[in-house]
């Protein structure tokens, strides 16, 4: 593993013991895709993941950390700092159901504003984000350095204020966002009006807007 680059490391596939996880996590340094969802990671594990993102060269392009209740604000700040490192080439980050706070969203926004920012896909599905957290996240989307193309906020219970923040991000110059997923969110009329107004703006380059009713919600695990 010290020389070979692996396509994927999937801890869910192996379901290792604590000792097995301790032995497998360092392999993240030599992976293009790491699936670490639903895994309890210790402080040292998070440090290894951050190190993999900043190594020279860094092979990691896709990272899934969904349903990780050990993802504290401090640990997300560590990962966000790694994303801001010049060696980091991470393109996809999945953080489904991680109970993200305002502080965590501020850290993510800083990563989106970094130069260069390589992140293209950010999935924050099933995180009950508050208005201040969404506003901070959108401030990152509005940055000239942000290259994010896909943002998934399904099942996040967004309010009118949050929709206003998203609408502002869609009008930003330039806006690189092409896919916005707001499925399974019961949007009120004022929120919908805000978003539709942004879609009519010539600066908005959005190509796909997903908005499925909650009655169509499937019972699927993060992927």
pTM beyond cutoff 0.75: yes
- Does the residue 218 lie in any domain? no
- Does the residue 217 lie in any domain? no
What phi, psi does 18 have (nearest 5°)?
A: -60, -40
Q: How many residues comprise the chain?
A: 223
Number of domains the chain is built from:
1
Higher-confidence residue of 201 and 15: namely: 201
Whole-number Å distance between alpha carbons of 61 and 73: 22
pLDDT at residue 222 in the model? 44
- Does the residue 207 lie in any domain? yes
Domain containing 190 equals: 100-211
Residue 131: which CATH number? 3.80.10.10
Q: What is the mean pLDDT of residues 206-218?
A: 75
pLDDT, tens digit, 9 for 90 and up, residues 69-99: 889 999 999 999 999 999 999 999 999 999 9
User: Does residue 4 carry a pLDDT above 90?
Assistant: no
- Does the residue 199 lie in any domain? yes
Contact 94, 64 (CB under 8 A): yes
Give kind and range of the element (H or E) at residue 63.
strand 62-64
pLDDT at residue 3 in the model? 67
- Does the residue 63 lie in any domain? no
- Does the residue 73 lie in any domain? no
- Does the residue 159 lie in any domain? yes
Contact 102, 130 (CB under 8 A): yes
pLDDT, tens digit, 9 for 90 and up, residues 161-183: 999 999 999 999 888 999 999 99
- Does the residue 202 lie in any domain? yes
């Amino acid at each position: 593993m010290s020389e070979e680059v692996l396509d994927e490391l999937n801890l869910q596939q192996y379901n290792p013991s604590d000792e097995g996880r301790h032995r497998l996590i360092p392999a993240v340094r030599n992976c293009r895709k790491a699936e670490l969802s639903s895994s309890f990671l210790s402080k040292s594990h998070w440090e290894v993941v951050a190190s993999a993102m900043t190594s020279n060269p860094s092979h990691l392009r896709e990272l899934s950390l969904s349903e990780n209740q050990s993802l504290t604000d401090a640990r997300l700040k560590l990962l966000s700092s790694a994303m801001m490192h010049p060696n980091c080439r991470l393109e996809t980050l999945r953080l489904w159901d991680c109970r993200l706070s305002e502080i965590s969203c501020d850290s993510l926004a800083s990563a989106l504003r970094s130069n260069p920012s390589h992140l293209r896909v950010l999935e924050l599905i099933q995180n009950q984000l508050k208005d201040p957290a969404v506003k901070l996240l959108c401030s990152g989307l509005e940055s000239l350095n942000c290259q994010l193309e896909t943002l998934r906020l399904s099942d996040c219970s967004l309010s009118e204020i949050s929709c206003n923040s998203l609408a502002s991000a869609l009008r930003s110059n330039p806006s690189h966002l092409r896919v916005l997923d707001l499925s399974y969110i019961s949007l009120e009329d004022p929120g919908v009006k805000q978003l539709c107004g942004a879609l009519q703006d010539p600066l908005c380059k959005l190509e796909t807007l997903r908005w499925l009713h909650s009655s169509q919600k499937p019972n699927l695990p993060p992927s």
